[in-house]
Chains A and B, each alone.
Chain A
Amino acid sequence: MTSLVDSWRLKVQHKSGFEYAGTVTSSYNEARMWPRNDARQAVLDAKIEVWPPARTYQYEDYWGTVVTAFDVHAGHDKLTVTASSTVETLPPGDLLSGGLDWGFDTDRWYEFLLPTRRTRLNDELTAIVAELRARHDNPQDAAMAVCEFVRSEVAYVPGATGVQSDALHAWEQRKGVCQDLSHLAAGMLRALGLPARYVSGYLHPKPSAEIGESVVGQSHAWVEWWAGRWTSYDPTNGVPIGHRHVLVGRGREYGDVPPLKGIYAGPKSTGQGVEVTITRLR
């Protein structure tokens, strides 16, 4: 059994919403904002509140993500979803040692080898992957080299891209947000022959977080790859997944784990707001 002695306890509040130019009469939405129990985290408490009030329906989707679905039929010009959770997280494990070789079976994870719209590469990137692979004799080292490459070549610039952005777009402008860096890393890991997942979650921004201090956190994304076992890594920050990361969902790309998506009948949306507040409780 893993001891939780070294764990952190994080309280995450994720407030997300839309504003409209007039009254929306009907709206159907799905939130993927509910952290899941996993090998490296335990969810102590979670809830999702919707305004205007709506009854919610929960299910676990194909990827294992907890989905909260709801529809609103009262007229509204603003929709807010607030997810609050308390999660115990572990420090990074012994994740990054080499020593595995390339002879592992990928069949179980076949769908994580295929490119998706947001993780597609071009010839230039494919050639770079081939070069990185040639320079490393085991998959862990090659995967780490990919993550280092992404981090060193593509600058993390908040607001540099939109939600529809993809790996190629970030590569061409050499800047992006964590979503883009993760898409690029996932695409390159797949080109290496490693099944790779895109992970959606939260990050506490301070490695030495004070207990009891609430800070502005962020929705975050990172990657996992399979080389006989899964390894998680945060290519944006160049760190393994640990205390500061709270996992919500995994998929092939952002499109499998959007925090909030929906459709509605009414005037166009004038704004979208996201606020994440994270407090280390212990």
Chain B
Amino acid sequence: MADLFEEYRLGPGWDEMFAELGVPRASYEALHATLQPLSSAELGVRAEVLARAFLDQGITFALKGVERPFPLDIVPRIIAAAEWRGVEVGVAQRIRALEAFLADVYGAGQVLADGVVPRRIIATSAHYLRAAAGITPPNGVRVHVAGVDLIRDEQGTFRVLEDNVRIPSGVSYVMENRRAMAQVLPEVFAATRILPVESYPAMLLTALRAAAPAGISDPAVVVLSPGVYNSAYFEHAMIAREMGVELVEGRDLVCVGNAVAMRTTAGEQRVDVIYRRIDDDFLDPVHFRADSVIGVAGLLNAARAGRVTIANAVGNGVADDKLLYTYVPELIRYYLNEEPLLPNVDTYRLDEPGVLEHVLDRLDELVLKPVDGAGGAGIVIGSQAMRHELDAVREKIVANPRGWIAQREVKLSMVPTLIGDRLRGRHVDLRPFAVNDGEKIWVLPGGLTRVALPEGELVVNSSQGGGSKDTWVLASPTSPVGEPVPIPVAGPVPSAPAAPPDPGPGQAPAEEQQQQQQ
């Protein structure tokens, strides 16, 4: 009977399960104790059940035009309560700063006048949409949902890799992963207190309802999808279904005199809040791509007139620009007067004097990223690149230094992953999902852990053919399993990871919001 951990090696990154070989960290003890006695055959059977469950449900990810399963690894990733509290408040802090920044750059532009962010960075950002200037969201929220990508560095410190405040995807995997895992590792679930993830749709709906135009007491919310050919259509459908709202496409909506209505078999129905999963470029052919057939003509002006809320707001992409990312720590100090809780990865700004020359000399040790690359596209990891790849990226960077950043190569943390019939350390990242209802920011406990399946691979993005892991946030030992405490949007944030007090059943944020709206 072969030992699953036979020949397991600690890799170059922080190993999340093992402090040293054979000695699991406290948070992983129960899981390790369950896995250790299993034979690889037993675990293999369970892994097959898991894979089949996914295929049956049609959970796939389109990679280069081909639908394929997004494999869920059978070994979960575990985050201790105190560690998670640090992530939670850090992510919320980041969103509070980015909200303030977006309101500023689409309004008065004080941050530019004060020179905190150079005007040239905004003026040259492809995602700074001047058509969005002057649109004031009803409850002030532009980032209704955020997916801030985190990694753990060689010391185990969580760092922000990028901000995603446009239309971050992946939350459906978080919910589906949990459902599937509960079936294949029931003994660990019984022995471990894991914070639940199923309240996400209720949280999102609460935030969307709170964002409704003024004076609407019972807002109609819809999910706007590009349609079945979109790689995330499964997720759009799932979120709509679980929120109990309509899933629509552009052709189902019509704007007349800034009022938005949904065409139904029972006639037209007013729409107040649109959770859209369509990119800005395609959202409204009046202001953006005129050839878009998946958008809704007139939508932007309907939002400008305060008749409908678009979530997330149009123009958020300026905050996702990876050059702007390098300024976020300064934005946190500027807007919040706080020190950043989650550090960035060390990053070079290639448009600053002298930096480009320094970086060009060391391309083979750095990670080069296009500033608006999504899904891991265009990333070059210098240490793993071929000569001709380095030459090609050098040419692109020299031609357009504003279009690239360079980062220190971080050896991402590792979690044991079933490869063949053995467990092997593989690199992971983490995308926690945060929801902002204007009063509080609530971070879904867990988030999407993506794992790079090839040995040594550092790009974990699902677009690059990775897999995922269920992500378990352990309940604080001092509190029962319940809803985590959301972080107020305004006011001081506890910076020390503290045990959250039990909010009690009547204090769950979803119910609180319901009461406000009655």
Residues of chain B from 298 to 318 with CB closer than 8 A to chain A in the complex: 298, 301, 304-305
Docked complex Cα distance between A29 and B255 (Å): 12
Q: Which of B118, B134, B257, B297 contacts A62 (CB 8 A)?
A: B134
Can you show 14 pairs from A to B with CB atoms below 8 A apart?
A: A28-B298, A29-B286, A54-B257, A57-B257, A57-B258, A57-B301, A62-B130, A62-B134, A71-B255, A108-B113, A108-B119, A256-B130, A263-B285, A263-B297
**Interface residue? B38 (CB, 8 A):** no
Interfacial chain B residues near A29, Cβ < 8 Å? 286
Docked complex Cα distance between A60 and B290 (Å): 21
Interfacial chain A residues near B304, Cβ < 8 Å? 59
A69 contacts B123, C-beta separation under 8 Å: no
Interfacial chain A residues near B133, Cβ < 8 Å? 61-62
Docked complex Cα distance between A263 and B131 (Å): 16
Interfacial chain A residues near B286, Cβ < 8 Å? 28-30, 262-263
**Interface residue? B124 (CB, 8 A):** yes
**Interface residue? B388 (CB, 8 A):** no
B119 contacts A114, C-beta separation under 8 Å: no
**Interface residue? B120 (CB, 8 A):** yes
Interfacial chain A residues near B258, Cβ < 8 Å? 57
Minimal beta-carbon separation of B456 from chain A (angstroms): 42
Q: Which of B119, B130, B131, B134 contacts A107 (CB 8 A)?
A: B119
Given contacts A108-B119, A110-B123, A69 and B134 within 8 Å (CB-CB): no
In the complex formed, the residue of A with least CB distance to B135 is A59
Docked complex Cα distance between A59 and B255 (Å): 17
Docked complex Cα distance between A55 and B297 (Å): 16
Docked complex Cα distance between A69 and B255 (Å): 12
**Interface residue? A73 (CB, 8 A):** yes
Excluding A28-B298, A263-B285, 8 further A-B contacts by CB distance (< 8 Å) are A54-B257, A59-B304, A59-B305, A62-B130, A62-B131, A110-B123, A256-B130, A263-B290
Interfacial chain A residues near B191, Cβ < 8 Å? none
**Interface residue? B256 (CB, 8 A):** yes
Interfacial chain A residues near B130, Cβ < 8 Å? 61-63, 256
Minimal beta-carbon separation of A264 from chain B (angstroms): 9
A73 contacts B119, C-beta separation under 8 Å: no
Docked complex Cα distance between A211 and B304 (Å): 41
Interfacial chain A residues near B113, Cβ < 8 Å? 108
In the complex formed, the residue of A with least CB distance to B109 is A108
Docked complex Cα distance between A57 and B259 (Å): 12
Minimal beta-carbon separation of B334 from chain A (angstroms): 17
Given contacts A59-B134, A60-B134, A110-B123, A73 and B297 within 8 Å (CB-CB): no
**Interface residue? A6 (CB, 8 A):** no
Docked complex Cα distance between A73 and B301 (Å): 16
In the complex formed, the residue of B with least CB distance to A73 is B256
In the complex formed, the residue of A with least CB distance to B298 is A28
**Interface residue? A111 (CB, 8 A):** yes
A111 contacts B297, C-beta separation under 8 Å: no
Mark contacts of B485-496 with chain A using CB atoms, 8 A cut-off: 1 yes-contact digit, 0 otherwise. 000000000000
Q: Which of A59, A60, A111, A114 contacts B301 (CB 8 A)?
A: A59
Minimal beta-carbon separation of B122 from chain A (angstroms): 8
A28 contacts B297, C-beta separation under 8 Å: yes
Docked complex Cα distance between A256 and B129 (Å): 12
Task: Report the interface size for chain B: residues with CB under 8 A from the other chain.
Answer: 23
Residues of chain A from 69 to 109 with CB closer than 8 A to chain B in the complex: 69, 71, 73, 107-108
Docked complex Cα distance between A59 and B286 (Å): 15
Given contacts A28-B286, A28-B298, A61-B134, A55 and B257 within 8 Å (CB-CB): yes
Interfacial chain B residues near A114, Cβ < 8 Å? 123-124
Top 5 A-B residue pairs of the complex, sorted by shortest distance between their CB atoms = A62-B130, A62-B133, A111-B123, A110-B119, A28-B297
In the complex formed, the residue of A with least CB distance to B285 is A263
Docked complex Cα distance between A262 and B258 (Å): 15
Interfacial chain B residues near A110, Cβ < 8 Å? 119-120, 123
Which of B115, B124, B130: most chain A Cβ within 10 A? B130
Docked complex Cα distance between A61 and B287 (Å): 12
Minimal beta-carbon separation of B509 from chain A (angstroms): 34
Mark contacts of A253-270 with chain B using CB atoms, 8 A cut-off: 1 yes-contact digit, 0 otherwise. 000100000110000000
Q: Which of B115, B124, B285, B301 contacts A69 (CB 8 A)?
A: B301
Minimal beta-carbon separation of A125 from chain B (angstroms): 21
Docked complex Cα distance between A55 and B255 (Å): 13
Q: Which of A55, A63, A71 contacts B298 (CB 8 A)?
A: A71
Mark contacts of B106-126 with chain A using CB atoms, 8 A cut-off: 1 yes-contact digit, 0 otherwise. 000000010100111001100
Minimal beta-carbon separation of A31 from chain B (angstroms): 12
Interfacial chain B residues near A262, Cβ < 8 Å? 286
Minimal beta-carbon separation of A236 from chain B (angstroms): 27
Minimal beta-carbon separation of B419 from chain A (angstroms): 50
Minimal beta-carbon separation of A117 from chain B (angstroms): 14
Interfacial chain A residues near B120, Cβ < 8 Å? 110
In the complex formed, the residue of B with least CB distance to A59 is B304
Interfacial chain B residues near A60, Cβ < 8 Å? 134
Interfacial chain B residues near A30, Cβ < 8 Å? 286
Interfacial chain B residues near A73, Cβ < 8 Å? 256
Docked complex Cα distance between A44 and B507 (Å): 57
In the complex formed, the residue of A with least CB distance to B290 is A263
B305 contacts A57, C-beta separation under 8 Å: yes
Mark contacts of A209-243 with chain B using CB atoms, 8 A cut-off: 1 yes-contact digit, 0 otherwise. 00000000000000000000000000000000000
Interfacial chain A residues near B297, Cβ < 8 Å? 26, 28, 71, 263
Interfacial chain B residues near A59, Cβ < 8 Å? 134, 301, 304-305
Docked complex Cα distance between A55 and B256 (Å): 10
Docked complex Cα distance between A29 and B287 (Å): 10
Docked complex Cα distance between A123 and B168 (Å): 42
Residues of chain B from 132 to 182 with CB closer than 8 A to chain A in the complex: 133-134
Residues of chain A from 13 to 28 with CB closer than 8 A to chain B in the complex: 26, 28
In the complex formed, the residue of A with least CB distance to B130 is A62
B257 contacts A71, C-beta separation under 8 Å: yes
Interfacial chain A residues near B119, Cβ < 8 Å? 107-108, 110-111
Docked complex Cα distance between A73 and B297 (Å): 12
Which of A55, A57, A73, A262: most chain B Cβ within 10 A? A57
Minimal beta-carbon separation of A259 from chain B (angstroms): 16
Docked complex Cα distance between A71 and B284 (Å): 14
In the complex formed, the residue of A with least CB distance to B120 is A110
Interfacial chain B residues near A55, Cβ < 8 Å? 257
Interfacial chain B residues near A107, Cβ < 8 Å? 115, 118-119
B256 contacts A71, C-beta separation under 8 Å: yes
Interfacial chain B residues near A63, Cβ < 8 Å? 130
Minimal beta-carbon separation of B110 from chain A (angstroms): 13
In the complex formed, the residue of B with least CB distance to A109 is B119
